[in-house]
A and B are shown apart, each in its own frame.
Chain A
């Protein structure tokens, strides 16, 4: 039996007690299961039995139990862990909460995550830092769909140890046969998904059986209690210390000209002064000079420690670089296949550029349409065009620059990444790198002898893309048409790409969902770019409602060739004119995803040109745009 806090030793010799407790290890685990499985009760019980509940909290708990408890007059341990007021009213847990308790040998950080279907996001968050998962099963119900889902997600996030806590044994008369049935059913499933280390423990959260103390009702069970097992499971971080050395540089410490230290948290392996290291991606090699620390230099540091290194040579190294073992450095690539967990209400948009963060590196990432989506209940792969909130799928992504990485199964630190929406700054997805795609490095561009500069010079003009954007009916096509006519009169070689025309040909397979709008703009951008390579002045007239995609096209073109023209009109006046009768249809509900009505328009923040249709006629605007272009050719 484990006793959490030996009061006698504390009273007699607190110094000895502290010395012993400084040697504790740290295990992070997560609990998964629904409210019905008694998860909150189990955690409340762990805290209560480890004396992490104080008298004043207990008094509040007793009071709460009487008011809103579900256990009659008895203490409702679940109320200890249901944090936010909204949750207490609804009686559900809606987010990840972190709890703490300690035994004689270990401190534990518990990520408490809900088991409800739409909260895959929360469980993945909790699992990302956990060494172990406690999966709760109701002894009366056995292995359910959600048990499989939790096991799959734990496995996906790289958790190596699983405890199957078969709870509510009191409600099946502590029956061994019931326990064995569930354990065997789970074992078959576990080996199927690759869970190798799992242990089943029969418990009762309500009565505390086999949690901290051995159950008096289950003599037939001779395995460890839950606490005993948690105390002896190996900690993953110790395994990371045996991997090759990796230090993602987080911050360069330069207090004066004589000192240049590289600070970061060791992601793998160990380091000593004198070790040969390589800076990745640059590939420069040098040796570690010192491991600098307040209170004196260190002789060694290992995975999990936050360190500051100095190097023997003056090499170029900054935030985002990785200092690695010279003879075993990590790879560098810019295209990957990855598993994605979508975490935002707004679905994934293939083609859109997201901010990408991995270790201390940042980049821009564009996703392709998913190869497949995983049904987390059946583990089947199904076709998908996009990923919605809580969906898991596999897709490829291309970055705008190469990054240092390792496959996720080798390194959480160098294989796990997040994607961020550049407009809202929300974290929209978590990803795990499976492998790098070699395509990027193998498909080389074919150099041509006649360059884009030569083609433009032959036409005696400077190529450009005049990108007209604005609401439907604002007058984009009208103005673009006038501009093209004027340019043709001046012997300029032009091409007008019109939204409606392109949708009849090149893009006729696309609809009007957000994802299709992104792809529509991407293709037009590529075509426009080819035409500027040919030396043309391209005019495009598309609503192109999203800032992110217009910026994407801007980034495709050489500096200064993308000219954004905002044809700015109020929704009211566009709707009043309604040349094509589309607003009327949209208002009548016959046209879905119509910009301005049920789909947003994001106006440009700093367009090169802006046309206020209320103040300027189409003719005058066209005149002004042409004048601007001529001035640009001269400048």
Chain B
């Protein structure tokens, strides 16, 4: 019997999840409610079955996620039998930081600073993230166990070599590690695994008629009344879906009729643009993700 590529990817991820639980003092799983998080959470349930995963879920909230995401988040945590920690940066909350008026500051305060605050507050020394190496150039070179200084900075030049399945998780007090169990998965692997394991994902990944407007070449969904419309502007109903999910005012939709998992995978296989194309954060040229990561962005 030959193990399939999904079997091997699954085994590698489970090995990583268990290793962290065996060696870290206070692990946590960053849960962003997207499809990669859904796969990672499912892997954790398999890794520690029949026990529930022995760490909490952490959602670094921006208050600007899609309503459908919040609904799935609370249910997924409950079904996994895990504690859910929701952190909202109090400074961003007080200042009313939002993606419409504050541009890059929105990501910096809600996500980058919010994440650092939450990790410091709960003294987590290991945080699982659902990033994949095929997503973006600088991710391709990041280790599976990625170390952060006490101030959460990433130094791409000082990464530890990772040999075999051996991970050196030793760290000084105050330092922490980000661990990426699905580093070696591709977007197609994730979809195939969701299909194979029948993993629940946010319905926004499937096409449905939704109210939309166009902004700067992106097709945005009007998810609640906070969306500022131009005088007289009326959202247009289009059949859309999302390839990646984040804050709704920053997530570009694609027009699509793919309403089932198989339809989505078919579209994914035939598509000609990468999934990050719909993300506003990646559109500054060149090394922007690398810079954000050095500052502490996941």
Q: Which residues of A are at the interface with B, using a C-beta cutoff of 8 A?
A: 5, 7, 10-11, 14-15, 17-18, 21-26, 54-57, 60, 81, 83-86, 88, 95-100, 102, 106-107, 109, 121-122, 124-125, 128-129, 235, 237-238, 241, 250-251, 253-255, 259, 261, 263-265, 292-294, 300, 302, 304-306, 308, 319, 343, 355, 357-360, 412-413, 416-418, 420, 425-427, 430
Q: Interface on chain B toward A: helix, strand, loop, or mixed SS?
A: helix
Q: Which residue of B lies closest to A122 (CB)?
A: B161
Q: Is B86 an interface residue, CB under 8 A from the partner?
A: no
CB-nearest residue of chain B to A418: B166
Contacts of A122 in B (CB 8 A): 161
- Given known contacts A106-B5, A251-B22, what 10 new A-B pairs fall within 8 Å (CB)? A55-B273, A122-B161, A124-B163, A253-B50, A255-B50, A304-B8, A306-B11, A416-B164, A420-B168, A427-B168
Q: Which of B3, B49, B138, B186 is A294 in contact with, Cβ under 8 Å? A: B49
Q: Are A10 and B164 in contact (CB under 8 A)?
A: no
Asked whether, in the complex, the Cβ of A427 is within 8 Å of the Cβ of B160, the reply is yes
**CB atoms of B49 and A425 under 8 A apart:** no
**Which of B4, B22, B47, B133 touches A100 (beta carbons < 8 Å)?**
B133
Whether A294 contacts B274 in the complex (CB less than 8 A), given A85-B290, A302-B1, A418-B163, comes out as: no
- Which residues of chain B come closer than 8 Å to A54, judged between CB atoms? 271-274, 277
Residue in A7, A106, A263 whose beta carbon sits within 8 Å of that of B47 in the complex: A263
Can you name 22 A-B residue pairings with CB atoms under 8 Å? Answer: A10-B270, A22-B4, A25-B5, A26-B4, A54-B277, A55-B272, A56-B277, A83-B138, A84-B137, A86-B156, A95-B159, A97-B141, A100-B186, A107-B186, A125-B162, A237-B8, A250-B15, A251-B21, A253-B50, A265-B11, A305-B11, A427-B160
Is the Cβ of B196 less than 8 Å from the Cβ of A294?
A: no
Hey, what's the 0/1 contact readout for B64-84 against A, CB within 8 Å counting as 1? 000000000000000000000
Say yes or no for B134: interface residue by CB 8 A criterion. yes
Contact of B141 among A96, A355, A425 (CB under 8 A): A96
Complex CA–CA separation, A102 to B21 (angstroms): 32
Whether B274 pairs with A416 at a CB distance below 8 angstroms is no
Task: Please state if A10 and B46 are interface contacts (CB–CB under 8 Å).
Answer: no
Query: Closest CB-CB distance, A118 to chain B, in whole Å?
Result: 14
Q: Does A294 lie within 8 Å of B168, measured CB to CB?
A: no
Q: CA of A459 to CA of B173 in the docked complex: distance in angstroms?
A: 45
> CB-CB < 8 A to A129: which residues of B?
163-165
Contact of A306 among B14, B171, B192, B269 (CB under 8 A): B14
Report B110-143 residues with CB < 8 Å from chain A CB: 133-134, 137-138, 140-141
* Smallest CB-CB A-B distances: 8 pairs: A255-B51, A85-B287, A306-B14, A26-B5, A107-B5, A54-B274, A128-B163, A425-B170
In the assembled complex, B255 has its CB within 8 A of some CB on chain A: no
User: A-B pairs with CB below 8 Å: how many?
Assistant: 189
Given contacts A57-B274, A293-B49, whether A418 and B168 have CB atoms under 8 Å apart is yes
In the complex the two chains form, what is the Cα distance from A54 to B188 in whole Å?
13
B48 contacts the other chain (Cβ, under 8 Å)? yes
> Given the complex of chains A and B, what is the CA–CA distance between A424 and B195 in angstroms?
44
CA separation between A306 and B238, bound complex, in Å?
A: 44
Q: Are B5 and A125 neighbours in the complex by a CB distance under 8 Å?
A: no
Asked whether, in the complex, the Cβ of A265 is within 8 Å of the Cβ of B165, the reply is: yes
B170 / chain A contacts, CB cutoff of 8 Å: 355, 420, 425
A429–B103 alpha-carbon span in the complex (Å): 45
- Chain B residue nearest to A238 (CB atoms) is B2
On chain A, the residues within 8 Å of B10 by CB distance are 306
Task: Say yes or no: A304 contacts B19, CB within 8 Å.
Answer: no
Q: A18-B195, A56-B273 are in contact. Are A263 and B18 (CB under 8 A)?
A: yes
| Distance in Å: Cβ of B289 to nearest Cβ of chain A | 10
Which of chain A's residues have a CB closer than 8 A to the CB of B51? 253-255
**B168, closest chain A residue (CB):** A427
Whole-angstrom distance between the alpha carbons of A99 and B134 in the complex?
7
CB distance from B143 to the nearest CB of A (A): 9
Selected from A5, A15, A23, the residue in CB contact (under 8 A) with B4 is A23
* Contact assessment for A250 and B271 in the assembled complex, using a CB-CB cutoff below 8 Å: no
Which residues on the A side are within 8 Å of B15 (C-beta)?
250, 265, 306
The closest CB in chain B to the CB of A294 belongs to B49
Closest CB in chain A relative to B244 CB, distance in Å: 13
* Cβ contact within 8 Å between B46 and A293: yes
Asked if B172 is at the interface of the complex by the 8 Å CB criterion, the answer is yes
Docked complex Cα distance between A355 and B170 (Å): 10
Check A237 against B186 for contact (C-beta < 8 Å): no
Q: Is B9 an interface residue (CB 8 A)?
A: yes
- Complex-state Cα separation, A358 to B273, whole angstroms: 43
Q: Which residues of A contact B47 (CB under 8 A)?
A: 263, 306
Residues 37-60 of B contacting A (Cβ, < 8 Å): 45-52
